Amino acid sequence: MHSPDIVHKTEAGGVHLNLADAAAVRAAYESLPAAEALISPMLDVRLELITGFHTDPTFGPLVLLGLGGIWAEALDDVAMRPAPLAPGDIDEMAAELRGAALLKGARGLPPADMATLTDILLRISDVAGGGLLRGIDINPLAVCADGKLVVLDASLFVL
């Protein structure tokens, strides 16, 4: 579901998972609040991350990385750095997380593709420094069973 008025789609009843057939997709679509719908295949998600940036009035654009999905607010496990980032900043941010071991594949989880994560965060940092947006919220950034990263939801905040 896409709407500029709805940031947390799950809480608004806008996320439906494990839809087995066209009838289930149709029923889920018809239950949505007035908004555009995005239908995508089900993924084998093993870990959810949050990333993005916000512009602080004192410090300027700050890029963040942390545990995402429902854990973002429940655990508040995030690291932040001012933009622009260097690749070493991203390694430090990942290491600062209480859940850092999860990124490496702890407890049978696949290790996250750190090269892709670095690329994503460097691109966010570039956008943050461009002055065109007030912020970006990517949550969740899914770590799939093969370690690949997939953006499942994102919000852009204009100036």
- Judged by DSSP in three states, 60 sits in strand
Q: Which class does domain 45-158 fall in?
A: alpha beta
pTM of the shown model: 0.85
DSSP 132-158: SEEEEEEEEEEEETTS-EEE--EEEEE
Look up tokens 């090269």; give the residue.
115
DSSP 8-state class, residue 70: T
pLDDT in tens, 85-140: 998 999 999 999 999 999 999 989 999 999 999 999 999 999 999 999 999 999 99
Look up tokens 């973002």; give the residue.
72
- Domain boundaries in the chain? 1-41, 45-158
